[in-house]
Structure formats: C-alpha cells, structure tokens
Structure 1
Amino acid sequence: MTELERRAAIFAALADQTRLRIVDLLTLGDLSSSEIGTALDLRSNLIAHHLGVLESAQIISRARSEFDRRRSYIGLRPEIFDTLAPPSVAPPRRVLFVCTANSARSQLAETIWRDVSPVDVASAGTRPAATVNPQAIAAAARHGLAIDQSRPPRHIDEVRAEGDLVITVCDDAHEILLTRDDLPRDDLHWSVRDPARAGTPAAFDDAFETLGLRIRALSSRLIAA
C-alpha cells in the first residue's frame, strides 16, 4: 500500500460520525470495547463493526491486558496522528499518574511530565511498594532526568485531590479502580507494558519512550487549550 493509499483509507474509514467519536476518545487513552460502548451508548455489534473498519484501515491496534487476559485494549496507532486533529483539552489543576506499586511507570511519568509541562503533577499507586525501582531511577537518569528518591511510593488515597486528572499507566491499576468502590475512578488509561516484568534496561527505556510520546501529545493539547 502506498502512502497515498494509506491516507485515503484512513480518511475513508473516518467518514463516519461514530468512528470519529471513537477516535476522539482514543486520542486520550486506551479503552476496551465495552468501555467504548458505555461512553458512546453503542450496542456491542455496532462497536465490533466500527472497530473492524478502523482496524482494517490500520488506524487502531489491540493489546491483551496484562492483568485480565480476557480483556483487550484498543489504542490508536501512533503514526496516524499526523492525519488527525483531535480537540483541545482544558488544563487540569494537576495530573496524577497511577500504577500498581508507584515504583516505576507512574514515577517515570511524573518525572517526564514535570520536564515538559507547566501543569502540576504527582504520582501514586494502588498497592505501593516500599521503594522506587532502581531501574526506573536509572532509566530516568539515562534520559537526563531525576526521580526523587527521598519520597517513598504513596497510595492514591494519600495523594489524590479535587481537580486532579487521574491517568492510570498500567492495566492492573485501571481495572482495580474500575471495580473497587472504595477507590476513585481514573479519568484516562494508558496501557503501558510493565518494564519490571522483563527487568532489563531496554524494557525500562521502552516504557520511558512510550510514556514520553503520550505525555508530549497530551501536554501539547493542554497548552493549546
């Protein structure tokens, strides 16, 4: 497929209001098909149809949840952003990144956000670890940033405040917040692979790069707003 054919396929697939609404949702975070149906009040057969069209046009990709293997998350393929013009988002009082242990992904996200955005930021976990993962600290250092090692990981209940934009950066935390009535819901979910599972510098660098791309995309939209 040529680049012109690729662009034409994207525009053809997006020539539908429902599919445009789905894409607008996915510009902010990854969602399961059931979450898309709830957000847009669509029946499951319609969701399957529209997601099939978007997938055939290579606009979206699917990733199996690391926590619940029966669930998949749908996300936009990063290369299609050049052809999309999503709406701006009103800046929040603060961004709060959440993962399970608050030891790697949310710590990296907080550090990257602080480097690129004037909007205040914090991080927390649903089951905080005792310390920050040393490999997360090393990954940040390799990219010229520093994680605050003097502050231990914290629980979301200790950190969350009114007006926070809560972004989960792991599937476990997102799905726990979906099902636990005693914890706040997240506003956005980014399905980022857990670098601690592989435990290699490359895995942590990959997580850093993935978070950096997401953060720069979102922060630019907040600044524009």
Structure 2
Amino acid sequence: MDIHHYDPVTGVYLGASEAVADPVEWDRARRALIAERLSEAHTAFAAALADDVPMAEADTALMEAIQAAEAEAAALAAPAWLIPACATADAPPDVAAGERARFTEDGWIVEPVPEEPEPEPEPMHEPTEAELAAAVRARRDAEIAALRWLIDRHRDEVALGRSTTLTVEDYLLVLQHVQDLRDVPEQDGFPSAVDWPHLPPELLATGD
C-alpha cells in the first residue's frame, strides 16, 4: 500500500513510499485463519471416522487440510499497515504548474506555490581607512615601478658615455615625479582624497 508523506510543519506534500505491514496484526490474522481451518478439518476427520471411512484415508484428508490451511495463511494479505506520523494513505490531488498539495486537518488542499522573496542586496562594504591607505600605497608603488625603466635607461646611457634619450631637464622631471609619488602619503587628504601627480605623457614615448 502506498502512503504519502507531508512536511510536519507546513504540510506540503513530500512524496510517496510503500507502507510496511503491521507484523502483530498480520500474525494474529494468520493464526486465526489456521485455527478456523484446523477446527473445520478436525470436524471433517471425526465425521469421516463416524461414516466408517478407513483411518488411513481420513488421516490423509486431515493432513491435506492442515497443509492447505498453512498455505492459505501464508498467502493472506496484510490486514493492517504501519503508517508513520506525517503520512496518510490518501493520495494527494493532481496539481498544475505553479501549484502544490498541502495536507491540513480537513485533508489535502491545492494552493499556489508562494513566490520566493527577492534576496536582499548585500550591504556595500565601506573600506576602512587602513584599507584605503593600503590601496593608495599599492597604486603608488605600481606607478613608481612602471617608471623605473626610464631612470635605469638614463643611468645606463650616462655610464656608457652615450647620448641620453632624455634631456637632463626631462630626467629631473622623472625623478621629481617619482619623489612626488613617494610623498603621496604625506598629503593632507591621504588616504581618502589624493591628488595624484602626473608626468607629461610624451616622456613615456621616448623609446623602449
């Protein structure tokens, strides 16, 4: 027998499973059936003897009756089933898309599936002053590293006695720009309001 489960809190239908027969009631029914059939068999046995039926023949009939009773009891359908809490033998009604079955005190009902509430957006994280300072210093370090090749190239050209790609004035502008970047944490608005120094872009286009 199929049984149908529902949520213990909401009553919403969860699915079906097969019920387990009550072993106590099943055994009691089998014993009752065998006792009834044995009583009938013994009555027939006594009647056969009274009618002068040979003992062997009457005894064979009795044994066959006992075997038939045992076979009938073994095939007996379960008279009762174990139905757990939050389950019922009543099948839920069919539901359409957007509907669900729910078990109540009055039985199954069909209702619309409630809409899931929209998830609340995650509150935006306001960076702390320490996080802002770390981000500014990281950008400062990256910009200085990006200019290192200009300084190294100029120093190498001077050391080799070659004509320099940058003029002395431009080289000093690069050095001053690097120093201005180093001084960013000393600005009054640091770290929330930084005035980033800028290097003329043409100095970055003077060769590789």
- TM bucket (normalised to shorter chain) is under 0.3
Instruction: Provide TM-score, normalisation by structure 2.
Output: 0.16
